[in-house]
Amino acid sequence: MTTDSRPIVASGKPYPVISPPDSLEAFLGDAEFTLDGTGGPLAVRGHGVPLDGDTVRFHEKAVLGGKDVRVWHVRRQGEGFTAEHVAAF
């Protein structure tokens, strides 16, 4: 039997991006960033697409196999960025 080793992430809670790119456009395409997660730093890898003028929809991918893990909305917040996990069907 295998266990799910992904960290717990709360939907609807904006997490600060602690390794911020210099612009929202840096989250577009294949990208990687680090969040200040509940249990410590959380690396997020995947692909971002523009959602509207101030939001990037970021599809987190599994390191092995590239399957979808989570969907994030990334936005500018003050001098940095936040990423919020959203339910996407």
**Where do the domains of the chain lie?**
14-86
46, 61 contact by CB (below 8 A)? yes
Q: What CA–CA distance (Å, rounded) separates 21 from 82?
A: 11
pLDDT at 89: 63
pTM value > 0.75: yes
Q: What CA–CA distance (Å, rounded) separates 75 from 54?
A: 6
Neighbours of 20 (CB within 10 A): 19
CA 36: distance to chain centroid? 11
- pLDDT beyond 70 at 29: yes
- pLDDT beyond 90 at 20: no
- Average pLDDT, rounded, for the chain: 87
